[in-house]
Homo-oligomer: A and B are copies of this chain.
């Protein structure tokens, strides 16, 4: 490595170290911290984020990147070093465009608006949240104005989560999905919920089974830990230090820890599979939000809600929860954890209706930002759209437009990546099965090592080296495509109907 490259790596390593420190502070806050620590922790976190940002946007980093241009021109463009320079250049240009004062305002507003949202949701009081939403939208417009004009102003927001992706690409995918998902949803029989859905599912057994499956998927104790939290998430501090979190509903099978654990394990395996040579560089994480979500969904749904998976795991699961499941045959159980069930809450939605929840948010956030929808009209617009898309009308805003934290935190542009992740998960699985035709037979044997290795080789090890479009092209041989996902859903729904 040349001196310039090694200087760049040292500069970036300390910034990455601060980012990891911030994530440890966040994980600790959500999983371990006594309540009393909240105020001090918020201030401490703000400091660490600010210092990392200040270190990154220095002129020296830009000068280093300039001086590295000729060196990099001689390198293989797929080499770690060439990718490091390219990605850092892109990140640095973006970070420099946002004035520190605006960045500070957004951070401060984000944390205050999130508190206001939590209070508003608890009291089903949208009116109290509305001024915060107005202010957030105003700052988002100022944020957008920091960047060169694009065909669609939403591109700027999307770019924070899917670098380089354009809004029309999302729209193309969603326009193909919407009628198909609505049709599958409408065709779903309106039936009484299965009595075994309500448990009992004792917490201790959930925890043990979740750990068992996490380990089987590849989350070894030496590199992973699993802790309870309120809203499950995964944070990575290094390829060899991954924190998974989960929750335990004892009276609702859909909230069983096993499903959220499989989801977070998917995120965790992506991080764990990164090439160790990328450690302590900005490339040491997943490529984009959608590609990350493709992995949580692949392990949770494509594998974890499949009939082969449950052929392997149902005997153990039924034994552990015999009070609920002793008389429930495999097929009936499998149907219950898969069939479309129109409902109000996105995070509880089945695979078929989930996309409709996302399409609603994708439409509304564009209308709020650019289409003249007033924040005053959000509840009505939300409820009407829910009725059209999913077929149910929320009885209040708590289970309607106040259900998600994202907008309060300023995360406009994030929602579509959830559904893009679903779409990609089926596309990637089709590609994987063409290389490993017996993949589902392996799942049925509880053997996941070769599936993990395929994903590591084709996706995980590259970290954030490539753009999402380039990564997708390498991985599945083309751009994002909704057809495999629609085939996957049609097959699944057909198999459920036959059950």
Contact = CB atoms under 8 A, between A and B. Distances in A.
A233 to B, nearest CB: 16
Contact of A34 (B28, B37, B240): B240
A150 interface: no
B280 A37 contact: no
Given A17-B47, A47-B18, A51-B18, A41 B225 contact: no
B222 A43 contact: no
B25 A21 contact: yes
A36 B237 contact: no
Contact of A20 (B14, B44, B50, B280): B44
Contacts of A36: 222-223, 238, 240-241
A32 B222 contact: no
Prevailing SS type, chain A contact patch: helix
Interface string A160-198: 000000000000000000000000000000000000000
The interface size bin for chain A is 35 or more
A221 interface: yes
A40 interface: yes
A40 B279 contact: yes
A48 interface: yes
A231 interface: no
Contact of A48 (B13, B18, B241): B18
B48 A17 contact: yes
B24 A280 contact: no
A238 B37 contact: yes
Contact of A241 (B40, B43, B50, B242): B40
A225 B227 CA distance: 16
A224 interface: yes
Given A14-B47, A24-B25, A24-B28, A41 B222 contact: no
A241 B13 contact: no
A35 B13 CA distance: 21
A33 interface: yes
Given A24-B24, A240-B37, A44 B17 contact: yes
A47 B21 CA distance: 10
B13 A240 contact: no
Contact of A47 (B13, B44, B241): B13
A28 B235 CA distance: 14
Nearest to A46: B17
Interface in A30-81: 32-37, 39-41, 43-44, 47-48, 50-51
A220 to B, nearest CB: 8
Contacts of A224: 34
Contact of A37 (B14, B37, B237): B237
A24 B41 CA distance: 11
A20 B43 CA distance: 11
A34 B223 contact: yes
Given A18-B48, A34-B241, A241-B36, A13 B225 contact: no
A14 B50 CA distance: 10
A241 B24 contact: no
A222 B13 contact: no
A224 B22 CA distance: 21
A277 to B, nearest CB: 13
Contacts of A280: 40, 43
13 contacts: A17-B43, A17-B44, A20-B40, A24-B24, A24-B28, A32-B225, A34-B223, A34-B224, A34-B241, A35-B222, A37-B223, A37-B240, A37-B241
Given A21-B48, A24-B24, A41-B241, 7 more contacts: A17-B43, A21-B24, A24-B25, A34-B222, A37-B241, A41-B237, A43-B280
Interface of A: 13-14, 17-18, 20-22, 24-25, 28, 32-37, 39-41, 43-44, 47-48, 50-51, 221-225, 237-238, 240-242, 279-280
The 9 closest A-B pairs by CB, nearest first: A37-B241, A36-B240, A40-B238, A17-B47, A36-B223, A17-B44, A21-B21, A14-B47, A36-B222
